[in-house]
Amino acid sequence: MRLLVIGGTRFVGRAVVEAALRAGHDVTLFNRGRTAPGLYPDAETVVGDRTADLAPLAGRAFDTVIDCAGYQPEVVRISATALKNSVDRYVFVSTVSVYADQSVPADESSAVLDDDSYGGRKARCERVVIDAYGERALIARPGLIVGPHDPTERFPHWPRRLARGGRVLVPGAPEDPMQLIDVRDLGNWLVAADVTGVFNAVGPTLPMRDLIEACTTKEAGTTKEAGTTKEAGTTKETNDAELVWVPTATLLEAGVDPWMGVPMWIGDPEAAAANLVSGERARQAGLVTRPVRETAADVLAWDIARGGPTDDPFPAEAEEKLLSRVSG
């Protein structure tokens, strides 16, 4: 396959490029050449600015374009229009944030936003692509994307924090739903999926308890909860981690930002079903997700190798201060 990737050197983009190269596809990247230039010597890079025009791609033809970095409808319109007659299929990476009502579980037929929020802009980007490509468009709506090279630092907090040990503030209740997808699984599917239409590219819903346990890798030693020690690994000597579950209502009363004021936690009651999005259609179309424990172990290894975060979203001082306020 002759594959064009818009972007391709950051988070989702690099997972797409790596999946495509492993599959033996002919890969061309179109970007400004500013982020990790030369990252993929086996792929061609065409330097250009998608916000202006795609003139550097004039006269080129591709089987598929995967747009990993479209956030503004007017910008997406430039690429959709310029490539309409030279690319067979347009794959647009959107988000489940497009759904208008996240208090109830959403599927691909649920109403989407029509405003100037992040989700509303993404929904308009989708319409631009569909208007240009019709049945030749694949719209992928992932939820929370995690994995190595995660620029948000939200998921890496947990395997790193549990490895450090001590009293660990865990938001909400053990049974609260959590939903995520490893960026590598998303990249594999975006490259391999031979489908068009709209798909929620999400992983299965699991309880927060399982997410925390999955992040307790061998490097994280043991976790203590309610007087019981749960063995998470056997070989490495580390501090124990004592889980302190703090209810959502308590966190909200303490003034914590309901949108990931604690990493991975969503406390907004209007988003009660944000982690209950149906991914059945994508699974039937070949989406395969790896165990969360594998993702957590790989993220911890990546985090250690890079020397830790450059901007910790929930530093130890903030956690200790909040714990003292909400748990005594």
Return the HEC string of 257-322.
CCECCCCCCECCHHHCCCCCCCCHHHHHCCCCCCCHHHHHHHHHHHHHHHCCCCCCCCCHHHHHHH
2-141 CATH choice from 3.30.1330.30, 3.40.50.300, 3.30.450.20, 3.40.50.720: 3.40.50.720
Distance (Å, whole) CA 77 – CA 124? 10
Of the listed ranges 130-134, 156-160, 310-314, the least confidently predicted one is 310-314
38 strand-pairing partners? none
Written as six digits, the tokens of 58 are 């004039």
Q: What are the residue ranges of CATH 3.40.50.720 in the chain?
A: 2-141
User: Cα torsion at 195, 25, 56, 85 (round to 10°)?
Assistant: -30
Beta strand extents in the chain (DSSP E only): 2-6, 26-31, 44-47, 62-67, 87-93, 137-140, 144-146, 166-171, 177-182, 197-199, 205-207, 222-225, 228-231, 241-246
Q: How far apart are CA 118 and CA 121, in angstroms?
A: 5
Judged against a pLDDT cut of 70, whether residue 229 lies above it is answered with no
pLDDT value at 15 more than 60: yes
Whole-angstrom distance, CA of residue 152 vs CA of residue 154: 5
* Bridge partners for 36 per DSSP: none
Cα-trace Rg, the chain: 21
Question: Given a cut of 90, is residue 170 above it in pLDDT?
Answer: yes
* φ/ψ of residue 36, rounded to 5: 50, 55
- Rounded to 5 degrees, φ, ψ at 243 are -80, 130
Cα 232 to Cα 31, 162, 241, 277, distances in angstroms:
42, 11, 11, 29
* Whole-prediction pTM: 0.92
What is the pLDDT confidence band of residue 328, given thresholds at 50, 70 and 90? low
Residue 233 reports pLDDT greater than 50: no
Of residues 180 and 240, more confidence is placed in 180
- Give every CB contact of residue 290 below 8 A, 6+ residues apart in sequence: 182, 184, 185
The region of weakest confidence among 60-64, 303-307, 310-314 is 310-314
Contacts for 208 with CB less than 8 Å, ≥ 6 apart: 170, 171, 172, 173, 174, 175, 176, 177, 178
What's the pLDDT score for residue 310? 86
Rounded to 5°, the CA angle 109-172-252 comes to 95
Average pLDDT for 65-74: 97
Q: State the number of CA atoms in the 13 A half-sphere of 252 facing the CB.
A: 11
- Mean pLDDT to the nearest integer, 41-52: 95
Average pLDDT over residues 138-149: 98
pLDDT at 219: 45
The mean predicted confidence, pLDDT, of the chain is 92
